[in-house]
Structure formats: structure tokens, C-alpha cells
Amino acid sequence: MSNGIFRTKSIEQTLRDTEEPEHQLKKNLGALDLIVFGVGVCIGAGIFVLTGQAAASNAGPAISISFLIAGLGCALAALCYAELASTVPAAGSAYTYTFATMGELLAWIIGWDLILEFTVGAAALATSFSQYLGVVLSGTPFEIPEAIATAEKGYLNLPAGLLVIGLTIVLITGIKLSSHINQVVTAIKVLVVLAVIVVGVFFINVANWSPFVPPAEAPAEASGGALHLPLVQSLFNLDPSVYGVGGIFAAAAMVFFAFIGFDVVATTAEETRNPQRNMPIGIFGSLAIVTVLYIAVSLVITGMQSYEDIDPADGAPLATAFDAVGLPVMGNLIAIGACIGLIVVCMILFLGQTRVGFAMARDHLLPIGLAKTHPRFGTPYRFTLLAAVPITILATFVPLSTLAELVNIGTLAAFILVSIGVMVLRRTRPDLERSFRVPWVPVIPIAAVVVCFYLMLNLALETWIRFIIWLAIGFIVYFAYSRQHSRLNTPATPEPTIK
């Protein structure tokens, strides 16, 4: 089906495309860069904001179990990412892998999905940065007026919008500069998180962990009706509830936002030296570090303060917890560290978005002009400038909570297709040299699909509706433009065999 929607782009052609001078990315990243990128993007809104929100609204002290479940789902998917990223070291992550295994239409869908994931994620992190910046500047001569501090209570979120504009300049300048900035800021963030754990341990009241899994109860308010409840409750006619076992899984689906770092690591495969060795190290290294930190912080924060006293709307729950135990100095330190750290998280998600769009444009599914790299910096500067527009608009005018769940559903959908892709590629291209192989195929990929899909079912119905609308728009764009302009419509050239 050379002209059909399930036509695949060979891995040989995918790798050959990475060598075209006008569309070539510079290989500047090593294993340490990748680990730092992964840790840098994970230690952000997930740990500084969503930990408190998910504990208060869904899981109570059992939020640590939610992080463990989310980490398990990510670990299963990470195995699949590591095999594909080291076998097909090209920009685009799940989009590129799907194109090589399941065909153009599914690749387009997942690419369109990833654009949503990273665009909304970058906007969400810019919004989180603005919330912590407000805490840092509160009470000083530089306090931000409410009218321009948040989209919820004012007219717009000006600090978030200005942050995206600044990061656009950094990303165009070059990925190595981005990596250097990320290393410095990630070190600061890790020190802040370790300070939260070490200092917070001395203020834990074990009574706050009882009951560790709060009994399930009806939601406090019914505003929004079924739209605000997890889809699984509507599908299986379950009584609406929060907390309990269902609350743990709902919280796991919510905090999944905190684990998308290794997905971003995979998007930089084409810019990595010796990707066959360094990609698995970067993916597993970053995931292991952040999972341990998340569980430790969630135990400390729910031990310091009863989950019933945490305000779900609090944009800076870690800082508030230390204020509650009489340590405002620590609260200020956390706010400063979070404020600095969230800048880099936003930058890395923005980076991931540009690499996916760049890969799609190089395949002509988006206008080919967007795949042109900067003659000096070797970055996809045109797509970066274009992507900055919707990210800036979302960050300036849309609240954080709406953005975070859209990121989660997009990420989980990508993980599912990548896991399936491993099984397909094992069957269709057993000849490929694989420097890393997922063990126990198909058991591990199937387990990844099941876990990720169940977490998707625990997201709110309104999130599913928004996601489906976005995909519907994607179908329209594909059949109206992308299918006709696809690079696969051009005459094929003989392809060398990969050795």
C-alpha cells in the first residue's frame, strides 16, 4: 500500500534523512546531558505543585503509592522507548518510531498528539513558574499586580508569557547552551528537593499518615457533574468517589505529568553522541532518580501536614507546608528554587515540541520550510518561532489545572503506541541490530499498554473530550494537507542495508 494510510517509512530512509545538510541537527549530547535533561524536566510542577494537589483531592498520604504506580507504568514504557530510541536514533520520539512500525496515519496521530502534549506542557510549566514567582516577590516592592499575575483572578499571566518569549531565544541559540543552563538549574532543584526531604523529616507527625489510604467518599461538590469525574467511573457505572483505591489510581493519572522527562530525552536522540549506548542510560537514569525523589517528598509533605489541611488550589504546596510548621525561611528557599527550576522544565518541554514538529516537517507532513535548521546554530529555528506563539497564548490565558490533564492523556497515548511499536518492529524487522532489547517480549510491552490505558481511564471525561476534539482536528489536517504532501509520495530511491 505505497499510497495508503498505513505506508511506513523505512528505518534506512529515516536515518538517511538525518544526514541532509539543510535538515541536520548537531550531535552535542552525552549520557550525562540526557540524564540531566530527564531529571530537569521531571523535577518541576509534578513535585512542586501537583504533589499537594493530588494528595488533597484524591489520595491523601497514599499519594506516595500513586507515584509508585505512575513510575511503574513509566518504567515499562521506558524499556520500550530505550529499545526504539537506540535502534532508530532520529528526532521525533514516538512519532518517528510509529512511522517506522505502524504506518503514516498512526504516526501522524501520535505526532499530532505529541505536539499537544509538549505545547500544553510547556504552557503549564510557565504557569507554574509564575505562581512560584508570585510567592517569591510577595510583600516586596516588585510584587506582581493580580491583574497580570494569573489568568484565573486577573486578565492575563504576563510573567508566564514573557518566560516563553525568553526561552524561544535560548532554544534558537543552540541545544548545547540549553544543556549547560539545564545542568546548573537542575543541580539547584535537586539540592532544594533534598533540603525538603532532609529538613522535613524532622517535622513529620506520623499521625498525619493515619489513615494512610483514606476511605472512599463521595466528592465534596458536584460541580461539573460527570465531566469532572474519572472516565472509568462512568464506563462501569461506579459511584462517584474520591480517596480509597480509586483515588490512588486517579492521583496516579494526575501525577503522571511528573514523569514525562524520559519522553523528552527520546526526542533528542538525533542530537546525541553514540545514541545506542547513551539513550538507554539517559532514560533509565533519569527515571530512577526522580521516582525515588517523588516518593520521598510525598511522604514528607503528607507527614508534615494533614492532607485535609492542604489547599488543592495552592500553587506552592511545598512552601506552604514549611510555613505551617513555622519554617518560613525554608518556604522561601523552596519558592526560589522552584521558581528557577520551573524555567528549565518549561524550556525542555518546549525543546521536545520543536523536535517532534521538526521531524514531521522533514517528512513533509507539515510544510517542509519548517524543517530548515539555522545555518549557524543548527537548530530548527523556524518551527521554534512558530511553536512559541500557541505556547505563549496558553501560558498567558489558560489556568494550570486544565493544562496538566491534557498533557497526561497525550503522554499516556504516546506510551501505548511506542510499546506496541516494539512488538511490531520485532516481527517486521528482526534483522535490525538492537543495542538494547526489551526483555520478555511481548509480556513487558503488553503490560505497559494495560497500565497506561488504565491510567488514561482514570482521567476526567472532560479531558477525554478535549483530547478527542484535538485528534479530530488532526484527522482533518492529515487528509486535507499532509497525506498529499507526504514525502512518501515522491519516488523511492534504493535503500542501503543497515549493518
Question: What is the reported pLDDT for 179?
Answer: 65
Distance between CA atoms of residues 54 and 310, nearest Å: 10
Question: What is the reported pLDDT for 81?
Answer: 84
Question: What is the reported pLDDT for 212?
Answer: 93
Q: How is the chain split into domains, by residue range?
A: 11-489
pLDDT digit of tens for each residue in the chain (499 aa)? 445 678 888 888 887 877 776 666 677 778 888 888 788 778 876 677 778 878 888 889 999 999 999 888 888 988 898 888 778 877 667 788 888 888 899 999 989 988 888 888 888 888 888 888 887 888 888 888 878 877 667 788 889 899 999 999 888 886 666 667 777 888 888 888 899 999 999 999 999 999 999 998 877 654 455 677 778 877 877 766 688 888 898 888 888 777 766 667 776 777 778 877 887 888 888 888 988 999 999 999 999 999 988 877 666 788 888 888 888 888 888 888 888 888 877 887 888 888 889 989 999 999 999 988 888 877 889 999 999 999 999 888 876 656 666 777 888 888 898 899 999 989 988 888 887 888 999 999 999 999 999 988 888 888 899 899 999 999 999 999 999 999 888 654 444 444 3
How many angstroms separate the Cα of 243 from the Cα of each of 307, 331, 343, 461?
Answer: 11, 28, 32, 18
Question: What is the reported pLDDT for 496?
Answer: 41
Distance between CA atoms of residues 159 and 127, nearest Å: 8
Question: What is the reported pLDDT for 339?
Answer: 84
Distance between CA atoms of residues 365 and 362, nearest Å: 8
Looking up cell 507539515, which residue turns up?
366
Question: What is the reported pLDDT for 176?
Answer: 62
Distance between CA atoms of residues 497 and 300, nearest Å: 54
Question: What is the reported pLDDT for 499?
Answer: 39
- Contact partners, residue 187, CB within 8 Å, separation at least 6: none
Name the burial class of residue 456, with classes exposed (0-12), middle (13-18) and buried (19+) by CB atoms within 10 angstroms of its CB.
Answer: buried
How many angstroms separate the Cα of 41 from the Cα of each of 26, 144, 246, 383?
Answer: 21, 26, 28, 21
Distance between CA atoms of residues 207 and 306, nearest Å: 8
SS3 label, residue 375: coil
**Cβ-based neighbour number of residue 47 at 10 Å:** 27
User: Is the domain defined by 11-489 classed in CATH 1.20.1740.10?
Assistant: yes
Question: What is the reported pLDDT for 493?
Answer: 43
The reply to whether the predicted model has a pTM over 0.85 is: no
